[in-house]
Structures are given as structure tokens and as C-alpha cells.
Amino acid sequence: MANRETVSEDRDGTKRIINRFSPEPTNFVLLLLGLLEMKMTHTPENRTYWNETAAATAFPRLFGDVNADVAIIGGGIVGITTARMLKDMGQAVAVIEARRVGRQVTGKSTAKITSQHSIIYQTLEQKFGEDRARLYAGAQESAIRKIRSLAAHYGIDCDIETKSAYTYTRDRTYVSKIEKEVEVAQRLGLPASLVNQTGLPFDILAAIRFDNQAQFHPTKYIAGLAKTIPGDRCHVFEDSRVVDWDPARVVTDRGSVTARYVVMATHLPLEQVGGYYALAYPQAEPVIAARISRAPNGMYINVEQPSHSIRTHTQQNGDVYGIVAGTSFKPGHTDDERKYFQDIEHWLTSNFDAGPIEYRWVNEDYSSMDNAPFIGWSSSIGDGYLVATGFDAWGITNGTAAGMILADLATGKENEWLKVFDATRVKPIAGGPQFVRENAEVAAQLVSGYLSRKPKSFDELAPGEAAIMKIDGQNVAAFKDEQGRVHAVSSVCTHMGCLVGWNETDRTWDCPCHGSRFDLNGEVIHGPATKPLAMALPDSR
């Protein structure tokens, strides 16, 4: 068996090394592999609807040293919006994206542009008081207007459509919560009304309707907005993974950006910056897309479990797709992943006359302990980073509001929304290591719990099977692909040492503790980890 390294390209255009352990192929085997890979590309797993229906981007890699006013790590909705806002203020910005802009978390969302975040306003009013709940509401409505104005001003073709948003229930015990949410939302100035007709193809008991909301194509929007940034001392770099940083400098494998401030627009700040790994917890959610012939004319989510969120997208040929997200689960917990995918597939096909499921992927979100995002300086003593995290699955408007706030802070302006979002409002939990240890134990149980079959060597792995193994004392995460190639890496997450779990839809190793994701070869998809999973030792093969 030979150690081989070849380069492949993901659907998002990211180049990566594959085949670390593989037998020497014959021409016949190569032909067979090609046929099998062609077949694999037509399965719905790890196919992200938005990323496959948007043109590829081609921003340069960062080479050499660049100076800017603000360095922004991450090219999703937070990073690109912040960059656009700062450029409007005359600032020089450099966006540094490890993979491709708009194709990670933003490109895997349902992309609802709405201030209706399920029934959050009664919770916020209770936890933060009416005034700050009103600020949250105002930030979301401003974000809706900002997305519309940016798309219109720059002529971004991102399929933006005005829609009403509905949060509904079919469970009698939730009706009073719906009624309460309407009362609070109206008092906060939101466009809310109580209805019992929604356009859904089934009866509901009560619903909140927010008018004048919208939906769009997130990958097209981010790519279009990113294209407006280069020039006038501003840059967007792709395929440039950050390997080191301090509050005034960012270093990649081939270059660096020196700046007055650094924005961490990386979903969760990298590694242990600000201690947010202990303040926001990760949730994975299953998402599917299929053609539907009974399309509802709005955006919907229910309150009770299991969760069903749906919106539509109409393609140029008139085909309408239903995009459905389901109940959140702990990353890497494969039992729940299977259960909730099955649930939303049944729900979509039985209610909306859906064709075969064509796209199936997993997204991740972070939720804060008090339900509001953390946005702003990571430290109150002037030595911090600008950060944004904990959007609780409502990242399109929260991410846009974050861009507006971070741009204000980087230019010395005040922003009243900080009264609710202030990222220093809760001190990192003392005893972080204990928190991590406990999570590590949970993760270990979780991983060993779902693997009813426990192969002891790679030879025992069936094609398409993944396993966490203990080989010669090593914790090994192994996957055997349909061609018989074994992809084996350490199962110990490089962030803080939890054991990763298997994401069978995307074929990634996901960490249940703080949400880092790694590909089959251990490369980081997104952090907080920044280092790849270690290679399994050759003698463990």
C-alpha cells in the first residue's frame, strides 16, 4: 500500500489533497473509479442547493504582505457585509477566506431575510427588557432594508423576492405562545399579525405573520457583493487559510495582512479567542431540497418539535424547489442526523408533492446562552478582536446587522444596537477546561454510542463505512470510500481535544463540543479549530 497524495477539487472549488492511503491503481481500476465517482455525483448527499446553482468565484490567493485599515477573516455574510460597509466609509479592507466566499455557513442556510425569529421576542423581552428587545427588532428590520438596498444599488442578481414570514403551530399547547409573540412583536413595532390562514397545504391552529419580509439566493448575493470590494486599496482573497494572528496582523500560509483591527467573521472566533467556545454552543441542522408542485407562497417555520422550516426557490426554467430545514442536533451525532433527515423528507414529500430529494446537506449554527448574538469587541480593555457569533440559526439578518455594527466600531462610531449585542456582556465561564472535559466525555460516549458495529481494523470496514477506532492506543477516525480507499486521521479534535463524530451526509468529521468540521483527510472546513486532524500513523493501517 502506498502513501499517495493527489489533488481534487470540491464542488465549491476548493482544492484539497485526497488519497493519502491508497493502493496503486491499474488502468482498469482507474476506469472503474471514474465510473463510480460519476455515479456518486448524482446522489443527493453533500449537495448544497445554493452552492450548486451559483457561478464559481475566482478571487486571488493572498501572496506577500498587504497593509489595510481592517483585516477581515472569513468571507461569509458577516465578513463581506463588514467589508462593504467599511469600504463605503473610505477604509482599506482585506477579506481573507480560507475556501470560497459565501459557500460555507451562509451558502448552507435557508436564506430567509426576516426579523421573525420564531418566538424570540417574548424571550428577549423577558431576559433583556422591552427597550433592548426593541433594539434587536430594529436591527433585524434595518438588516432587511440594507440587503435590499445593497442588492439594488449594485445590481446583484440574487433572486430576491418579497414574502411574508410565518411562525405557526399545530399543537394546542403552543397557541398561547403564538398569541403572546404577536402582542410583543406589535408593541416592538414589528409588522406582525395573528392569522389562521397561511397558504400551507394543511390546517394550523395559529400563526404569526410578518409582512414585507424577503428571501434570496445567498451564494449569489455574497459573490455579487464580494465583487464590489476589490479596488481602492481593498481586497478579497480566497483559498487563503489563516495560520496565525494577533489583534493587528493576520498570517496565512503564503502572506500576511497588517491592519489596525482584525475582524473574526468565522462563525465562532478562532481557537480560544474571547472564550466564545464556552458561551455559545453548536447545533447542526439537516437541510434538503427537491422540486415541488404544491408551492406555498411564504416562508414558514413551526414552533413545536420536530421542527420544519420551508421556503421556496424558483429556477429560471420555472421549476420550484422546496428548501426544508429540520430539527437541530448535536454535531457528529449520527443517530439524530438520520432521524431528522427522514423526518423532513417525509414531511416535504407528503405535504408538497415533492419529487426525489436532489440535495441533502448539514449546516451548523451557534446559539448563545441568553439567545442574543455576541457582536462587537471581544475584550472591553482595548486589546481585542471584532467578533460576531451566536446567531441562533437566524444568520442572514443578524449577520448583516453584525456587518453594520462592526464597521461602526472599526471607525470609532457608536452603535446603539450594542446595548443588546455587546460581545463582552458575559464573562467567559471560569473553569473552561472543566467545561471542555465534560464535553469531551459526552462526545466520547456519543461517538461510541452510535457505532453499533465496531471494526477493529481497516480491513473490516465496508465500503462507505466510517468508524472511530482504537488502534495501537491511537484514537482513529476512519472512512473507507466506495473505491476501497481508507481515509484515516486522528479522531482527536485539534481545538481542545474532544473526539469528533461522523457526519454521514456530508462525509465530514464534526466535533460535538464546539462545532469544528474537518474533511475526510482531516483538513479544517471551519473552526474554531485551525489545525488539521493529525494523520493516523502508517502502522495503524
CA geometry: angle at 358 spanning 353 and 363, to 5°?
105
Q: How would you list the strands of the sheet with 517-518, edge to edge?
A: 501-503, 508-510, 517-518, 524-526
Tell the smallest beta-carbon distance from residue 535 to ligand FES (Å).
18
234 forms part of the interface with ligand FES (CB under 6 A):
no
Cell of 86: 467599511
- Total residues contacting ligand FES (rule CB under 6 A)? 13
Return the biggest CA–CA distance within the chain: 71
Tell the smallest beta-carbon distance from residue 444 to ligand FES (Å).
12
511 forms part of the interface with ligand FES (CB under 6 A):
yes
| DSSP single-letter state for residue 453 | S
Task: Select 485 or 514, whichever has its Cβ closest to ligand FES.
Answer: 514
Residues 6+ apart with CB under 8 A from 185: 116, 121, 137, 192, 208, 210
Task: Select 124 or 498, whichever has its Cβ closest to ligand FES.
Answer: 498
292 forms beta bridges with 354
The torsion angles phi and psi of 22, rounded to 5 degrees, stand at -155, 150
283 forms part of the interface with ligand FES (CB under 6 A):
no
Tell the smallest beta-carbon distance from residue 511 to ligand FES (Å).
3
AA letter at 413: K
Task: Select 409 or 533, whichever has its Cβ closest to ligand FES.
Answer: 533
Q: What is the 3-state secondary structure of 313-378?
A: EECCCCCEEEEEECCCECCCCHHHHHHHHHHHHHHHHHHHCECCCCEEEEEEEEEECCCCCEEEEC
446 forms part of the interface with ligand FES (CB under 6 A):
no
CA geometry: angle at 534 spanning 532 and 535, to 5°?
120
From 97-105, 137-145, 153-161, 513-521, span contacting ligand FES (CB under 6 A): 513-521
- Report the alpha-carbon distance of residue 93 to residue 65 in Å, rounded: 13
AA letter at 89: M
By CB under 6 A, name the one of 513, 525, 533, 536 that touches ligand FES. 513
Site residues for ligand FES, 465-494, by CB under 6 A, read 493
Task: Select 158 or 489, whichever has its Cβ closest to ligand FES.
Answer: 489
Tell the smallest beta-carbon distance from residue 7 to ligand FES (Å).
27
What string of DSSP letters covers 48-89? Answer: -HHHHTSPPP-PPPP-EEEE-SEEEE--SHHHHHHHHHHHHT
112 forms part of the interface with ligand FES (CB under 6 A):
no
Task: Select 19 or 516, whichever has its Cβ closest to ligand FES.
Answer: 516
273 forms part of the interface with ligand FES (CB under 6 A):
no
Length of the chain: 541
* Chain centre distance of CA 33: 31
280 forms part of the interface with ligand FES (CB under 6 A):
no
Site residues for ligand FES, 519-538, by CB under 6 A, read 528-529
Tell the smallest beta-carbon distance from residue 528 to ligand FES (Å).
5
Tell the smallest beta-carbon distance from residue 499 to ligand FES (Å).
9
By CB under 6 A, name the one of 496, 520, 524, 533 that touches ligand FES. 496
From 43-51, 58-66, 481-489, 506-514, span contacting ligand FES (CB under 6 A): 506-514
Tell the smallest beta-carbon distance from residue 466 to ligand FES (Å).
17
Tell the smallest beta-carbon distance from residue 57 to ligand FES (Å).
27
Interacting residues with ligand FES (CB under 6 A): 277, 493, 495-498, 511, 513-516, 528-529
